[in-house]
Structure 1
Amino acid sequence: MVNYYVRRTARVFVTIFGVMSLTFGLIRLLPGGPFTQLRTQLLRQGVPPEQVNQQIANLQNVRPDAPLWQQYIDYMISALQLDLGTSIKYSRPVAEIVAEAAPWTILIVVVSTILMFAVGILLGAIQAYWEGSRFDTIASSLSIVGMSIPFYVAAILLVLFMSYRWGLFPPGGTANPNIQDHWSLEYAVSVVRYATLPVLSYTIVGIGGQALAMRGNSIQVLGEDFVEVARLRGLSDGRIATRYVARNAILPMYTGFLLLLGFRLGGTVILEQIFNYSGLGLYLLDAVNSNDYPLMMGTFLVITVALVLGVYVADLTYGKIDPRISSGDSSETY
């Protein structure tokens, strides 16, 4: 048991170290390199040539005239201290920008994923219980159609109809800018209204996949011997459905839930651009378009580390709900 957790924890640190190294290397493989572009921008702004290297060192926490290995060490030390440099475009610390943007992205990702799984699991369980019925056929068909629609297409359609044509929700932004009190109920309501369309864009296209997965898992569990034994013992259908079928059918979907949270953090780049939603994705796209290398590296690093931590949490908690995983051997049966 202890070795299992030690291995998983060590793997997280190795992976994060690899991600940080990859981020450092990829940025420097870009055409012209980050220092060439940044040096040109500073010279155009009138910075004296003798001060350019110092300005670059202040922005990126590395000395451009130092050897590559020294730049790598400086970058790793600064990143471990949560010092991600200073944004070129916004002239603010990258860590401060990420701290402001992350809650908005986390809001739409977490809420949409929870809604998607909740509705999908409920729908899939009902389909399995009424397998072969007209409801099952219609729901399965709609699920397949929903899975085939990209989330950005759903987002554009929602903006077109629910914002511009019907005026039900604002087309973009994170909250009403005219409300100054961010702790008021009015501000909270505006946050919900502005987040509704991004959340729906992610939720609608994902329900079908989860419903079909839950349906397949439930049908498989319904054929197990322990379900037949429960019926022979005279247990009610409701107890069998909730305690035996649903619990075992949801189990394989748990890891996917945590992984999807991490993957969706990276997928918000397009979604946040459509809704002009000031989250990590929008800042990452803005950094790429403006060659803001410190902000680009910082947001990419945060999004990737979030995915790694999602996998780590899934590893640690999956053993709590499935005893076969506690020892690291998922092939053990009971």
Structure 2
Amino acid sequence: MVNYYVERIGQAVLTLVSVISLTFVLIRLMPGGPAEFLRAQLIRTQQGSVSETQLNRLVEIYISINPDTPILQQYIDYMTSILTGDFGRSFLYGESVTSVLGSALPWTAFLFSIGLGLTFTSGIVLGAIMAYSEGGRFDVTMSSVATFLNSIPFYVIALLLVYLFGYIWGVFPTSGKYNYDAVSPGLSLAFFASVLYYAILPLVSLVATGFGGWALSMRGNSIQVLGEDYLRVARLRGLPSRRIALRYVGRNAILPLYTGILLSIGFVLGGSVILEQIFQYEGVGYYLFQAIEGRDYPLMMGGFIMLTSATVVGILVADLTYGLIDPRASRGDSRESF
């Protein structure tokens, strides 16, 4: 048991170190990479008024690497700075990358935690109902709808919503996180109402294209569970239908989806780059897109590391906790959760 936890945590740490090492390679070793681009930018903006030593110091401030030191020392300094939360300085916004992404992260977490929660909840409820009415009109209709919506990329729905509800009908705003002119951030009902109002269209685009996959998975798992022998025994014992549905069918059918919900965190955050750009929602994805477009390499690398870390942590949590919610997994030969 202990060896398993140590092994999985070690793999997660190794993955994160590998990702950070990759960003170092991209910054330091690629021809025309961030260090050279930043040096050229500084020379142009300073118009030759800085010495080589000052130039190297500015490069170090922005990307946490001093070009004067040996490459091994550069790598150690870079790893140390990243692991301590110093991602360098954004030259698009003139602030530290930690500050830019730190202010954007709560908004992305808010939007996608609610979106993922609504998607997962609606999907499993609908999937369970579809399984109980297997072969009926409701099951056939909703299976077709779920399959159709699940095959549409979320950004297509997002663009359609912006066009119809934003530009044509003017019902919802097309950009921003809240009404900057009417409310001020704080613990007030007006502020929270404005935040939810501005998040409606992004949430609808996430839920509309995401619930179908969960519904179909829940339907398939529930149908499989409904055919198990222990359910026949439960019915013969005269257990109430509600108890059978919730404690036997629902609980066992939802377990395989537990890993998926944690793994989807990383993929959802990756999709935030497109979604937040469409709605001009200033979260991590929005700033990452701006960094890519403006060649702000420190901000780009910081966003990349943050999204990768979220994926790795999601996988690690799924591995470490799956055996706790499903004791059967801890009795098997393998406890891999995916």
TM-score, normalized by length of structure 2? 0.94
Secondary structure in 1 matching 2:42: helix
Aligned to 1:244: 248
Question: How far is 1:68 from its partner?
Answer: 2.4
Aligned to 1:14: 14
Aligned to 1:307: 311
> Is residue 32 from structure 1 mapped to residue 32 from structure 2 by the alignment?
yes
CA contact (8 A) 2:27 2:35 kept: no
Gaps of 5+ in 1: none
> Is residue 5 from structure 1 mapped to residue 5 from structure 2 by the alignment?
yes
Distance 2:311 2:188 in 1: 33
Aligned to 1:160: 163
Distance 1:327 1:42 in 2: 60
1:159 aligned partner, one-letter code: V
Distance 1:69 1:328 in 2: 44
Question: How far is 1:91 from its partner?
Answer: 1.2
Structure number with greater CO (CA < 8 Å, separation at least 6) is 1
Q: Deviations over 1:180-218 (max 9, x none)?
A: 243221111111111111111111101111111000000
Aligned to 1:234: 238
Aligned to 1:139: 142
Gaps of 5+ in 2: none
RMSD: 1.6
CA contact (8 A) 1:324 1:331 kept: no
1:41 aligned partner, one-letter code: Q
Shift of the 239–130 alpha-carbon distance from structure 1 to 2, 3 Å rule, reads same
CA contact (8 A) 1:198 1:275 kept: yes
1:45 aligned partner, one-letter code: T
For these two proteins, the number of residue pairs brought into alignment is: 332
CA contact (8 A) 2:90 2:298 kept: yes
CA contact (8 A) 1:4 1:328 kept: no
Aligned to 1:187: 191
Distance 1:29 1:148 in 2: 40
* Map 1:105-124 → 2, pairs under 5 A: 105-124=108-127
Distance 2:176 2:293 in 1: 20
Secondary structure in 1 matching 2:92: coil
Question: How far is 1:29 from its partner?
Answer: 5.6
Question: How far is 1:325 from its partner?
Answer: 2.5
1:209 aligned partner, one-letter code: G
CA contact (8 A) 2:26 2:33 kept: no
Distance 1:240 1:330 in 2: 29
2:155 aligned partner, one-letter code: Y
2:176 aligned partner, one-letter code: G
Aligned to 2:81: 78
Distance 1:272 1:290 in 2: 17
CA contact (8 A) 1:143 1:208 kept: yes
1:64 aligned partner, one-letter code: P
> Is residue 294 from structure 1 mapped to residue 336 from structure 2 by the alignment?
no
Aligned to 1:171: 174
Distance 2:58 2:106 in 1: 30
2:214 aligned partner, one-letter code: Q
CA contact (8 A) 1:94 1:294 kept: yes
CA contact (8 A) 1:218 1:246 kept: yes
Pick from 43, 48, 52 the counterpart of residue 50 of structure 2. Answer: 48
Question: How far is 1:237 from its partner?
Answer: 1.7
Identity, % of aligned pairs?
Answer: 54
> Is residue 281 from structure 1 mapped to residue 278 from structure 2 by the alignment?
no
Shift of the 328–87 alpha-carbon distance from structure 1 to 2, 3 Å rule, reads farther
Distance 2:237 2:258 in 1: 29
CA contact (8 A) 1:39 1:52 kept: yes
1:16 aligned partner, one-letter code: L
Shift of the 301–328 alpha-carbon distance from structure 1 to 2, 3 Å rule, reads farther
1:89 aligned partner, one-letter code: L
Question: How far is 1:19 from its partner?
Answer: 1.3
TM-score, normalized by length of structure 1? 0.95
Aligned to 1:219: 223
Shift of the 275–137 alpha-carbon distance from structure 1 to 2, 3 Å rule, reads same
CA contact (8 A) 2:149 2:208 kept: yes
Question: How far is 1:120 from its partner?
Answer: 0.6
> Is residue 66 from structure 1 mapped to residue 96 from structure 2 by the alignment?
no
Distance 2:78 2:36 in 1: 18
Distance 2:335 2:195 in 1: 46
Q: Deviations over 1:27-60 (max 9, x none)?
A: 4465511121111111111252432111111111
Distance 1:319 1:168 in 2: 47
Aligned to 2:271: 267
Distance 1:253 1:242 in 2: 16
CA contact (8 A) 2:323 2:335 kept: no
